[in-house]
A and B are shown apart, each in its own frame.
Chain A
Amino acid sequence: MPDMLVATSYEEDFSVECLLQELLMALVGYTGDVFVDTSSGGLNDELLEPDRCTVQLATDLNWVSPQDREALDDLVRLGFHYRQLQRFVQQEQQPCSRLSRSLYRQALCAGLAEVLAVYEDEVVLLQEQLLQQGAGRGLPGLKYQLAELQMLLPQLHQLAYDLRRRRLPVSEGGAAPAAAAAAAPAEEGLQVPREARGAKLLCTLHSHRLNGQPLLQACLQRLLWHVNQVLFNQLTMWMVHGLLADEGNEFFIRPRDATRDSSSSSSSSSSSSKQEQQQDDTRPAGDSNSARQSATGAASSSKHVPNRSENETYKDWLEAFEVALHELPPGVTPHLATSVEFVGRAVRLLRAPPASAKLKQLQQSCSSFGRSACGSSTGVADDQQQLLQQQWAALEQPQQQLLPHEDTLAFAQALRMLQQQPVFSQAALERTVEAIRADVASRLWQLLVVQAGLMQHLGAVKDYLLLARGDFYQCFLADAAKLLAGPPREKTANSDLAVPWQSAAMKSTAQDDPHFKLFRLVLRPKPADHAADAPAAAAAAAAPAAAGAAAPASSGAKPLTVPSFDSNWDGMALEAQLPWPLGVLITPSHMKRYNALFQLLLRLKRVQLSLEQTWQELGRLCGRGGGGTSASDITPLLQLRQHMGHLVGNLQIYLQLDVVESNYARLQEKVAAAQDFEEAERAHDRFLQALVAQSFLGSGILGKQLSEVFGQSAALCRLVKGAREDGIDWPQVQELHAAFNTTMGSLYVNLQSKTLQQYDKAPYLRQLHLRLDFNGYIKRQNKRFLDVQRTVTTSYRQQRQQQEQEELQQGRRAKAQQGRQQGQQAAV
């Protein structure tokens, strides 16, 4: 201060030119007494608002003319912006920053540092000029030379400020900045997670890029490029190596189990290297990479890699990863994201098949794999490279390379090409991803269809789960008849079932079938709630094939209703142990639906067989060939049986022929022609969907009526069995007949009802209807039935009316009597 006072006295000797050195120092952040920083200093981590410049020419330099002061203040504002940006960058790179770690922001900082370096160079240049030429061109010259940067830095500062506050210009508008700044320390804890990161950061950059200044555009373009490097690195890691390199949890593909994410940041941030910001490539450093892998938490395979079990690979495939749809960076459509996610999962699957999977060995792993995989990152230190190599070597089972090395290289190269493009192109990315997806999908198709024999196994699924191997089931049900007649023994039910299951295989065509041993019949416990059959089906069919974990809730199908037949044994379900990669196509949720169909078909078969047995018994009852005289006596029983048999038989034929076989033929065609896993997957999905829809498992009414028919058939069989000893219980026959007619009547009505017809089921309902009522008998019968009902109801109504009238009359009479009595009493 005293110097200043002295200075004032030599007013004439001072000119603005004397301040230029000071100005240059201030421009690179070194303020002093001439250019004063009025902010509270570097203690506060908060970025200052760009609009409120705290650096200015000291007010007590009164000899500076207002015009010059304005010009100087204007220029020195650059220093303010520079300082703030520098602080932003430095904070990002501090090892123990309280900021959550974000690769995207780090990349952005690298970009910003680049801009700042340009700025610094400029300032140095200016200083040189100043030293060489003296005051030279003076203030206007400086102004001229810094004009471009004056356009840039404030905007960048604004960007940094926005990012830090995660306040997009639009979203929060003119919220009182002073108040925010004042309250900042208090809010600190809250503000940490509010920093822009990941896709949000990219979005902010994009929105800033949309401006009319070519220079600024170019600059932001460059920053975007920097950040996109991270995105591309992540894409490469994921799509080429199947790894999530996402320690900041910013990638749009996430491990589904998000509970362990936070654990990573603390351990990894300890040794974050500074070198990466200096490189164009912001490739993550090796040591943090390992942390990033563990960031994938439970889903990560890194720990289990050497010998993953089949269940782990299924888990990995089915439920370990998901697309974070709200985290999609600009230019990545949901469709693209799904493709990317698929590629990564597929690569994981293809590159790390479980140790138990005995697949054909394709070729020996290439020893140079590690190098090529990270060949893109030329700047990465050797030790990092080794580390990566080790990890990959662990992930890669050298003897089972399902994804050829050349493909991996090609993927990496394609992505690398894109990465190097100065401008991000959505179309190019989509093309590349699609190319990779197509390749991986065809490899996976190859693996499933050619190597693992998908079609044969789908055939086996049809044979056993859909009862196409009829003779086997016939044998099984005959052998198991005794067992099924009684209630199951709780503890040994499964092994009890295994006996006829195995013996039937010995006696039928299943004997020569290598796929038979993949299936196991089990009795699933009855659901607690007996009344509701729907959860029964769901519980009964819980996740048998793989993983043992519940299927993702996203399958979201409504519970399937399987008409019940035998409360003791309705829980019978099939468990399938399909060889390894097939579980990716036939998932637990698929198995659930297959089992619902299985249960329906098995019950139908049981009813049909018992009705056939009854046919034989009835034949014996009336003498062979009906030659006996009693034939006409049991005609009602015969007819009832015939009708039931007709219904059950035709329903089966409908299901097996019109539904299963027709759809299966289509599935076979589609899968064979697909050459692409995802198409095959879709075809299989559609197949099963069609099966479930066309067998009306979703329809509660039809299910209920079928249950009734099953029950009535069982009752008839019991009745006939008892008839040999005790004679025919005619009242019961009559009752059964009436009940069956009622059920058939309503079933028939339902088959044609509008509510059911409305769905896409209409054509299938008609198909079933055609089979059931080919000769129009039920229609006629039903008409009669309805007529009878109508007369019954009308006569009932008439009766009621009569009764009511009588009651009324009685009441009147009673009242009259009472009145009379009262009158008499009164008289007395």
Chain B
Amino acid sequence: MPREIINIQVGQCGNQVGSEFWRKLCSEHGISKDGMLEDFATQGGDRKDVFFYQADDEHYVPRAILLDLEPRVINGIQTSDIANLFNPENIFISKEGGGAGNNWASGFTQGEQVQETLLDMIDREAEYCDSLEGFTLCHSIAGGTGSGMGSYLLELLSDRWNKKLIQTYSVFPNQSESSDVVVQPYNSLLTLKRLTQNADAVVVLDNTALDRIAVERLHVENPTFAQINSLVSTVMAASTTTLRYPGYMNNDLVGLIASLIPTPRCHFLQTGYTPLTVENESGLVNSSIRKTTVLDVMRRLLQPKNLMVSPHARAKDLASSRYISILNIIQGEVDPSQVHKSLTRIRERKTANFIEWGPASIQVALSKKSPYVQSAHRVSGLMLANNTSIRHLFNKIMRDYDKLMGPNNSRRAFLDPYAQFSRFSDGNGALDLEEFMDAKDVVTSLSKEYEACERADYIQSEF
């Protein structure tokens, strides 16, 4: 029962981040670029079969499905050094090849149109699994394909595999500066609805924060896509270490997220990672962090500046935010007795505000480090946290959406492309805002739910 996980990557961002993620997994498990086990990787003790299966010829094949509506990124992967890694049957590029044009509606509709093909691919992949535990979806919520087709996939998966878990790694757009995609608030909002209703857990990766981290923490002046993607893939890989290098607990996806998500609706997780490294032309750029004890790592993980979600709110509002749950995955040479000391220290200093309506604590999972990857740091840590402050990100998206839509939906900027699709038209070519209104309701109530979680009387357990 390896509890396999199938990773589906959609759209430009999804595929870029996804292929980085696979690259990382390969190097951690000692699998070569074409899927063969390296001679040195004989140590065992890891579980490759969660994310890979072995073909008849001993090749390790990622349980990955690559989807895109335009050929550029996937072609890039197919001509890169990891071209032979993926099963070519699992790669789908739309025949039109025109992409979704940053239009959620286009992506969603195109997804609908190729439903059979998608189901065939996923079904076939699922058959390779002994006991499929669930899916991870890797996408961005701003563009057209990742958001639109991704949303469609979420609905599809959640409907067809209602007993399997669905976790997403969702890249939220950079909202601090003007984007080339003006309609991204529309796309984001529409996708958020699916993320709320059709996913079990969403790992939020905020481009705004990632950029900030690259600039401030890693001192990269103009972070490239590759550098940001490397950050994302680091987080993705780290969040799956307890599945791949099993320890006492958190050895499957449900074990990982069940304790993080006490109420099913509040399932948006923030991440933090330390110490970060990023690659540039001149080689490896480390963050300036030199000291990595358990306490240091755990303390840094709680610092907002290391959080991969930007606050989008005033300090006053942030002060009331609460942690619903925290899971720290610590990798490397750790003296286990230090964990307790660190916890004591953190509690003494009250570095983390927790909810008051239920029990909550910092759970710590110690995990092995890959023996095949050299690292300058003895200890590294990933935090997965469920924090109510995420609502400010939703609110920011809704504010941006409102700006485009105008008061009482009067402005309706840039909506023409959406009206071309049946979902957004009333049949007479006129715009139907039903979908938007619904999405906004869902996100609003989600934000409200998180807000309610900050209050001590969120749940009154008295009977």
Contacts and interface: CB of A to CB of B under 8 A. Distances in A.
Interface in B403-427: none
A664 B343 CA distance: 20
A792 B3 CA distance: 49
A777 B360 contact: yes
A772 B340 CA distance: 12
B303 interface: no
Interface in B19-53: 44-47, 49
Contacts of A631: 263-265
B363 A653 contact: yes
A507 B158 contact: no
Interface residue tally on A, bucketed by range? 35 or more
A657 interface: yes
Interface stretch (B8-16, B221-229, B246-254): B246-254
B376 to A, nearest CB: 24
Contact of B44 (A509, A608, A649, A737): A509
B264 A657 contact: no
Contacts of A636: 459, 461, 463
Contact of A658 (B195, B267, B336, B461): B336
A649 B359 contact: no
A504 interface: yes
Interface string A699-724: 00000000000000000000000000
Interface centre among A611, A612, A664, A776 (most CB of B within 10 A): A612
B1 A645 contact: no
Contacts of A665: 335-337
B163 A652 contact: no
Most A CB contacts (10 A, CB to CB) among B131, B336, B343, B357 go to: B336
B41 to A, nearest CB: 12
Interface string A638-668: 1100110111011011001110011011000
A513 B46 CA distance: 11
B264 A642 contact: no
A778 interface: yes
Nearest to B193: A627
Contact of B340 (A467, A626, A658): A658
A43 to B, nearest CB: 80
A509 B360 contact: no
A611 to B, nearest CB: 8
Interface string A112-150: 000000000000000000000000000000000000000
A308 interface: no
Contacts of B2: 475, 507-508
Interface stretch (B97-105, B196-204, B209-217, B279-287): B196-204
Interface string B228-239: 000000000000
B52 to A, nearest CB: 14
A21 B360 CA distance: 109
Interface stretch (A257-265, A277-285, A542-550, A614-622): A614-622
A639 B248 contact: no
A625 B267 contact: yes
Nearest to B130: A507
B360 A625 contact: no
B249 A622 contact: no
Interface in A717-735: 734
Interface string A469-511: 1111011001100000000000000000000000010011100
Contacts of A618: 264
Nearest to B353: A775
B117 interface: no
Contacts of A507: 1-2, 49, 130
Residue of A512, A625, A653, A741 with most partner-chain B CB within 10 A: A625
A664 B247 CA distance: 15
Contacts of B263: 626, 631, 635, 638, 642
Contacts of A468: 247-248
B45 A649 contact: no
B336 A657 contact: yes
A656 B463 contact: no
A774 B298 CA distance: 15
B329 interface: no
Nearest to A775: B354
Contacts of A658: 336-337, 339-340
A430 to B, nearest CB: 38
Contacts of B357: 777
A612 B254 contact: yes
Contact of B246 (A469, A639, A643): A469
A770 B363 CA distance: 11
A185 interface: no
B344 A770 contact: yes
A624 interface: yes
Contacts of B337: 658, 662, 665
A778 B136 CA distance: 35
Nearest to A646: B359
B237 to A, nearest CB: 18
B358 A650 contact: no
A51 B344 CA distance: 81
B363 A639 contact: no
Nearest to A652: B249
A489 to B, nearest CB: 23
B400 interface: no
A331 interface: no
Given A509-B47, A665-B335, A623 B361 contact: no
A771 B354 contact: no
Contacts of B264: 618-619, 622, 624-626, 631, 638
Given A772-B361, A774-B362, A778-B359, A509 B45 contact: yes
A661 B197 contact: no
A474 B49 CA distance: 15
A439 interface: no
Contacts of A435: none
B91 interface: no
B356 A775 contact: yes
Interface string B276-318: 0000000000000000000000000000000000000000000
A207 to B, nearest CB: 55
A767 interface: yes
B1 A474 contact: yes
B110 to A, nearest CB: 24
Nearest to A661: B336
Contact of B248 (A467, A504, A770): A467
A646 B259 contact: yes
B364 A653 contact: yes
B343 A771 contact: yes
Interface centre among A608, A618, A626, A773 (most CB of B within 10 A): A626
Given A512-B45, A620-B163, A627-B197, A775 B158 contact: no
Interface in A733-775: 734, 737-738, 741, 767, 770-775
Contacts of B336: 657-658, 661-662, 664-665
B262 interface: yes
A790 interface: no
Contacts of B166: 624
A627 to B, nearest CB: 3
A818 to B, nearest CB: 47
Contact of A767 (B162, B340, B355): B340
B114 interface: no
A812 interface: no
A624 B343 contact: no
Interface string A454-475: 0000000000000111111011
A120 to B, nearest CB: 76
B399 interface: no
A474 B252 contact: yes
B246 to A, nearest CB: 3
In the A-B complex, the 6 residue pairs with the closest CB atoms? A626-B265, A627-B197, A626-B264, A774-B361, A471-B246, A775-B354
17 contacts: A467-B248, A470-B251, A472-B246, A507-B1, A509-B44, A625-B158, A625-B199, A625-B264, A635-B459, A638-B262, A646-B359, A646-B361, A657-B340, A658-B337, A662-B335, A734-B463, A778-B359
